[in-house]
Homo-oligomer: A and B are copies of this chain.
Amino acid sequence: MRLSKLLPFKDALLEIDNFQIKTDLEEIDLKDAHKRVLGEDIYSFHDSPPFDKSAMDGFAIIAEDSFGASQNKPKEFKIIDKIGAGASSNKTINHNEAITIATGSPIPEGANSVIMKEFTSVDGDNLEVQSQVTPKENISPRAEDIKKEDLILKSNSFIRPQEIGLIASAGYSKIKVYKKPKVKILITGNELVEPTKTLNKAQIINSNRYILSALIENCGALLTYEHVIDDFNKTKEAILNSSKEYDVIITTGGTALSKGDVVVDAASEVGELKFHGVSIRPGKPAAFAIVNNTPVFMLSGQPVAAMTQFDMFARKFIMNMQGANFSDKIVKRTSKVKIPSTLGRTDYIRAVSDDESTHHVLNRGSGIIRSMVEANSYIIIDENDEGIDEQDEVDILFFDSMNFNR
């Protein structure tokens, strides 16, 4: 099967979205959970803090006993115990009694406030309080952060540093997360060689391997690389074998829209071709197939086209395989330039954008890796626009930026 017409970009995205799959769950140590996605609801085992705790180094007292105290008119207390960090006291405070307390320690029975050390002076077990405190002052009340048995994080949450802290406070040392997708990169092209100082005639350095590996790493996936020679049967075999072992296959090269290009034909023979040829620039020959229930993203051999196609089609899919709900974070910026486009085609134009404005990178050939190095974003021109004018508010996608939708 070969589609004869270019598919609108939105329809191509829909084909991919319709196939969105997720990885299985695995249990991991909490310390390895950074940037993973929760696979279970987290209910707290504890109140946090687990008790009324002192927020300061000082003395636990009954606040009312300090009323009226000042540097000139201090109030006298008797120190009846001392609570170091990690310790507690069994004593109960009565009027005009105090217990020495460290930051983080439990407030002793009877007390309702902590007077900071700097507003006191001590002589043996006599305490002089030189300032007044109000009830609850310098106390972090039990459960102010988390209540025991509360749902504190929902399944499918993305885990940043603070989420790890919250899960730790809830009492979990292990959690269930979605597995990292295993991605196979199949690079075709007999002319491609690894980076070297000396090239023979007709050899080209395989930069796609390096670019795609880093892009896939950014999505939190595990990657395996294979260079396939330009042979129909070898390519078919590589796709079929990879589909049995990997969650996603990404190919580069061999996608030309003319008849008989190896990769698309190979994927079509062992699986179902969903599209080939999309009305986009760069990257028109992009193709997508399902082989053995494994998605196969077929990207161009030209590095810039391959990188843009990855960002258009594969990034969100691979990230959302891990259970979260990411979407492209498209923001508005003022264009400093006029850029023509063609009705019916979606353009991803390499651009330099800041917090206010944007302009495109001039050197736009799809083999020009330098243009991606100069850029930090894409200007996106929708298929319904014939281009943008200077001062237009345009859609910008910063590289590697995603919205996490809760």
| A interface residue numbers (CB < 8 A to B) | 30-31, 34, 45-46, 48-51, 53, 55-58, 84-88, 102-106, 116-118, 140, 144-146, 152-153, 160-173, 189-192, 194-199, 201-215, 217-218, 230, 253, 256-259, 261, 301-303, 307, 331-332, 355, 365, 367-370, 372-373, 399-400
Q: In the complex, A256→B160 CA distance in Å?
A: 28
User: How near does chain B come to A76, taking the closest CB pair, in angstroms?
Assistant: 20
Assuming A86-B202, A163-B373, A166-B207, is B214 touching A196 (CB within 8 A)? no
When distances are taken between beta carbons in the complex, the residues of chain B under 8 Å from A195 are 30, 167-173
Assuming A50-B199, A214-B161, A369-B169, is B303 touching A57 (CB within 8 A)? no
Q: In the complex, A51→B201 CA distance in Å?
A: 8
Q: In the complex, A368→B307 CA distance in Å?
A: 41
User: How near does chain B come to A349, taking the closest CB pair, in angstroms?
Assistant: 15
| CB atoms of A161 and B106 under 8 A apart | no
Known pairs A160-B399, A160-B400, A162-B369; list 13 more (Cβ under 8 Å): A34-B218, A46-B199, A50-B203, A56-B258, A84-B190, A104-B204, A105-B202, A117-B259, A161-B212, A164-B213, A167-B195, A171-B199, A171-B205
| CB atoms of B201 and A106 under 8 A apart | yes
When distances are taken between beta carbons in the complex, the residues of chain B under 8 Å from A102 are 230
Q: Closest 9 CB pairs between A and B?
A: A86-B190, A161-B214, A162-B372, A86-B191, A165-B211, A117-B258, A165-B207, A88-B202, A34-B214
When distances are taken between beta carbons in the complex, the residues of chain B under 8 Å from A31 are 210, 213
User: How near does chain B come to A189, taking the closest CB pair, in angstroms?
Assistant: 6
| CB atoms of A369 and B105 under 8 A apart | no
Beta-carbon nearest neighbor of A261 in chain B: B57
Assuming A56-B256, A165-B372, A217-B34, is B355 touching A331 (CB within 8 A)? yes
Cβ contacts A to B, 5 pairs, < 8 Å: A84-B190, A86-B203, A88-B201, A117-B256, A140-B365
| CB atoms of B53 and A204 under 8 A apart | yes
Assuming A230-B85, A258-B57, A370-B146, is B303 touching A165 (CB within 8 A)? yes
When distances are taken between beta carbons in the complex, the residues of chain B under 8 Å from A205 are 46, 48, 168-169, 171
| CB atoms of B189 and A140 under 8 A apart | no
| CB atoms of A210 and B307 under 8 A apart | no
| CB atoms of B256 and A57 under 8 A apart | yes
| CB atoms of B373 and A166 under 8 A apart | yes
| CB atoms of A87 and B202 under 8 A apart | yes
Q: In the complex, A191→B169 CA distance in Å?
A: 13
For A167, A214, A215, A332, the residue with the greatest tally of chain B CB atoms inside 10 Å of its CB is A214
Q: Which residue of B140, B152, B369 is within 8 Å of A165 (Cβ)? A: B369
When distances are taken between beta carbons in the complex, the residues of chain B under 8 Å from A209 are 168
For A103, A167, A400, the residue with the greatest tally of chain B CB atoms inside 10 Å of its CB is A103
When distances are taken between beta carbons in the complex, the residues of chain B under 8 Å from A399 are 160
Q: Which residue of B50, B165, B253 is within 8 Å of A208 (Cβ)? A: B165
| CB atoms of B161 and A206 under 8 A apart | no
| CB atoms of B140 and A367 under 8 A apart | yes
